[in-house]
Structure 1
Amino acid sequence: MNLILELANYIGIIAFAISGSMKGIKKGMDLLGVLVLGFSTALGGGITADILLGIKPPTNLVYLPYPLTALIASFLTFLFYKIFANVGKPLLYADAIGLGAFTASGASLAYSIDPSPLLVIMIGTITAVGGGVIRDILSNEVPVILTREFYATAVIIGSGIYFLLRYEGESNYYDIIISFLITTVLRIIAMKLKWELPKVINT
């Protein structure tokens, strides 16, 4: 795997683990609950994608550096909650980087199994946002991606771009890097400009 993408993956795992752990702490969960939520947020999307693709056992459960990173980040968040509570924008940017990395890696994996545009976009999206959906469900909340923010949309666009670039020929890692960058940049711009998709306002 490309070194840049691997580094971004770790950034994403850490950012998502912190995000899930913070949610667990705010919900009053104990240490086990916080670890479960942090782990699920960081790795749940990749595990779900692997299951859908027939990869057994899922990579996130057998490649130990990934689950260890998620658990350590979750545990440290539990110990130093007050410090992480004051880390706002840096964590959001790390989340955006992780989103881009998971989008590119998920889309790449799906294409290597079957070059179907729907499969590539769906698996890229599930890999990137699936953990956040699991986090919100376990927290008894409506998943954020269904209610606000330009989040999953950036992932769908990034996955689609990966498919178009890869469809043109053999992978040379430029397709992965471009998908990663576009998803990340779109997410950062959306945060800065407060982009949201249209919705019906009940009056």
Structure 2
Amino acid sequence: MPNSGSPIIILGLGNPGIEFERTRHNVGYHVVNLVLDEKNGRLRRGFLRRYSYCVLTVKHHSLVLARSNSYMNRSGDVVPELLRRYGVMPDRFIVVLDNMDLAPGICRIKKGGGDAGHNGLKSVIGTLRHGDFYRFYIGVGRPPSGASQVDYVLSVPDMNELADINSACMRASQGILKLPYKPIAGVIEEINSRGT
């Protein structure tokens, strides 16, 4: 990634509103916030834009941090405008989201694949008409047998799980901040080779 002059776009998935802030489904928002905190950045909402964003300069490279202002199932609506505005191809586009197939505290990076039933990812893939982009997955675990998956992801984890999830979010944010310095393959290896 550092070899190209075009920006890197990071889109954190989540739901807007204070009632969703600390839920499992909003870890994508949380990772974006952690990157911004590290660099003293602040999201702003452009006139008539459906997303909030901040452009950071790290080692002469631009990182565009963005969050959709729509609900999760409309996450993809903002993607064409973001890619067009910054002249970015999908190989420099990263989506950050929750993943129930990973235990709380696990952070993984993958390129391509399906939506695995995740409505935000489904929206992004549907808008792009392909899934050939990077995903930073934050593990949130699965609900107990028989419990609603929707209620689970829209609820706040208990304190033990929250600590693990926050740790994974921190690793993802640090991985994002390394992208201007090293190839994405190196960041993937570093994060995916960890046990957590």
TM-score, length-normalised on structure 1? 0.30
Higher strand share: 2
Higher helix share: 1
TM-score, length-normalised on structure 2? 0.31
Structure with bigger RCO (C-alpha 8 Å, 6+ apart): 2
